[in-house]
Structure 1
């Protein structure tokens, strides 16, 4: 039994209005035009899921009643002060750019329009939009204009944000699936547009996103959203299915649940099978991708269902080498940081072998493994060039298993976050979509 509910693209409260600049509440449009005032209609935060460092507020979009045209003039970042109140603590955000635009979105180049975009530094300590759960950010941001602009005079009053705009995240619908035993698992789904059959990408999140919020499997790491972003969908249109491991129920013990839990695994497979039966999926092109605990889930699921999936990308995972001989035929591109201390590269958590040991076992079982090592903080072009060279080497020797190791001290933020560039890498993703069971 399944249940799918479509979310609105923008979660905007009916009738919500931004806190107005003083003196504009009762002024009619014609009076505004005569007086030169431009009323604030609303303000929204713009968020982005970062490659390896959670969900962050990257900008504020203020909508005005009338178009703003600065006639080529620049807006200094010092013209605005932005403060965020998170968990009752207020701190400034760093303004990096300000410009007008025709839509509530960040842009490389601004243009005259009804929107004023104030970009914020995502590295700010208080930039996060979520902790273990999404943070309550409605009206959490105060924006003050402290410098007069040609069409916008400064004001002593702050504008408060009404809501949030979550590009790509808002394109996923929310749903849940209940299997024959009554076990329920939440999921998010992105559907491509247009007729035809499409590949299916199933994303398995990490242990930090185990929750009952049906959100952090999208926002904790950029794994699901990177497959749904517009440029990726133009290149590789596909269904993207992002299930979420639920929190353990009372009396289930201290270990909780993960992708290897029998109930979670059965429900996940049931969800996939039900989805395939109901949607136009190209069943020869079903892919598993996952990180950390999700990587472990991949390496546990594949031996049990060796004929279901066309390829997989397990990142920073671990598993059981005694079952690895069952998946020598499945194309894999695995990656792991050598200095990972959360899921060690060689000997994984709870004594289970890490990716390096599993690749050795796969090779011993008869698979040809093509290995490469480079820094995980290389510029994107160089990173992809290394990946392209590794792929050429694999093809030259007839290998369908690739393994990338990241040199110690080169993985940004934390050595465990090996996926910093994995799902941004067009070479790896092009390779994935080229795989088919036929």
Structure 2
């Protein structure tokens, strides 16, 4: 990695000088210091078998560019054993005050658990001190953010409005007059990223989030080397909140979720382009801005240098979507010997630079009917993915191509990806290109990435690459 000519500051990362910043949108109060209130807008009285200690919202980052409140987790003072009783959704009433408007949330199911966490099993329900009230993600007031996180502190109230009884009539959970307000917000995976900032050698500051693999956090002196995944967000996540690059879509969280970390433990570095707009980039929102790109490049160099015992320099990966895809094509051409592989989705770039990156393994994808970044024409006079792949091929890379619907069920989608990968391996090709048939990308044809980062075949392929 190149040396630094001026002093740099790397704040918040492991081995640096500051403690991790809080990630939760609201800092939960300790259950040991729960207080008693006696109003319909307060917490239930902390007494009796149904005493509520605290209430938390549970959020989820979804593939369709949404960060949603998907459940309420209620912690009781005593363990609850439903003894086989199923809690009807109608037993709980949940109201949300978001954006100055109060409206009901739709309860879909409720069950006990041992922790404040959603249980995705078909038949959940472990006896424990927590009750999980799941909410319909399609509710119009389900969102946890616009561009910036919404103020969700005490924004939700939940009240039990009907008794839950055994078939013999014995009460298990009794309805009450009081509603509980949420004490905090739990964001699985997102909460595992620490908030950091980096000031480069010119004084430009770039905020970023960092996920550190469990093996590293438990044993900071370990010499185990892990891959580093650098994620580049799209134009919609340009902000000063150091959050939206995690919650605007499932790029960064894909690589930090527990099931992926068990298979491929890795550092995940998610920087955010700051305000104000416009910057020097042609659309004012992308990673080709001179200051932003220089700071990003220096950030990666500095992080790898400061974690030289723990980062596998041969396995640095670059992934991104939309203007993040454009950033990939630009940065790879300028740093062609740094990254082991890349995943650019719905991006655009410069044909003339493709000859510099023919050796880099890449799996690109794009919706044929993308109206935001056109598949062939791209943006601002720069070509889209289809044209860039043609330029790569003209420069000597063999590109393996496939086309299928972007709304296929996961198993079918991955089967098509697996077939394309077999085709690439048979042809000794390290560049793959998936096109999504017009009319098959849900919500918006630009959101080609909704399936990309849920696709285990693609992510497994990425981690197989080494420089």
Cα contact 2:315–2:465 (8 A) shared by 1: yes
1:419-430 matched pairs, under 5 angstroms? 419-430=449-460
Paired with 2:347 and 2:420, the residues of 1 have a C-alpha distance of: 21
Aligned-residue offset at 1:412 = 1.3
Cα RMSD, aligned residues only:
2.1
Q: Does 1:134 align with 2:134?
A: no
Cα contact 1:56–1:128 (8 A) shared by 2: yes
1:96-107 matched pairs, under 5 angstroms? 96-107=108-119
Select the residue among 152, 156, 170 that pairs with 2:177: 156
Distance of aligned partners of 1:14 and 1:82 in 2 relative to their CA distance in 1, 3 Å threshold: closer
The C-alpha deviation readout for 1:126-162, integer Å capped at 9, x for no partner, is 1110001000001111112111112222123221111
Select the residue among 396, 408, 419 that pairs with 1:389: 419
Which ranges of structure 2 fall in alignment gaps of 5 or more residues? 1-8, 13-18, 165-170, 216-221
Aligned-residue offset at 1:249 = 6.8
Cα contact 1:47–1:58 (8 A) shared by 2: yes
Paired with 1:416 and 1:19, the residues of 2 have a C-alpha distance of: 50
Give the structure 2 partner of residue 266 of structure 1. 294
The C-alpha deviation readout for 1:220-253, integer Å capped at 9, x for no partner, is 0000011000000000010000000001279989
Distance of aligned partners of 1:250 and 1:320 in 2 relative to their CA distance in 1, 3 Å threshold: closer
Q: Does 1:335 align with 2:343?
A: no
Cα contact 1:248–1:256 (8 A) shared by 2: no
Cα contact 1:293–1:317 (8 A) shared by 2: yes
Deviates most, 44-53 or 255-264 = 255-264
Give the structure 1 partner of residue 328 of structure 2. 298
Determine helix, strand or coil for the equivalent of 2:443: coil
Give the structure 2 partner of residue 221 of structure 1. 249
Paired with 1:138 and 1:387, the residues of 2 have a C-alpha distance of: 42
Aligned-residue offset at 1:82 = 1.1
Q: Does 1:111 align with 2:126?
A: yes
Cα contact 1:178–1:184 (8 A) shared by 2: yes
Q: Does 1:170 align with 2:191?
A: yes
Give the structure 1 partner of residue 466 of structure 2. 436
The C-alpha deviation readout for 1:343-391, integer Å capped at 9, x for no partner, is 1101011121000010011111111000000011111011000000000
Distance of aligned partners of 1:186 and 1:144 in 2 relative to their CA distance in 1, 3 Å threshold: same
The C-alpha deviation readout for 1:267-323, integer Å capped at 9, x for no partner, is 000000000001121000000000001000001111100000000000000001011
Give the structure 2 partner of residue 199 of structure 1. 227
Paired with 2:401 and 2:98, the residues of 1 have a C-alpha distance of: 45
Q: Does 1:373 align with 2:403?
A: yes
Which ranges of structure 1 fall in alignment gaps of 5 or more residues? none
Determine helix, strand or coil for the equivalent of 2:54: strand
TM-score (norm 1): 0.94
Aligned-residue offset at 1:125 = 1.2
Aligned-residue offset at 1:394 = 0.2
Aligned-residue offset at 1:413 = 1.1
Residues matched between the structures, number: 431
Give the structure 2 partner of residue 364 of structure 1. 394
Q: Does 1:286 align with 2:354?
A: no
Q: Does 1:66 align with 2:78?
A: yes
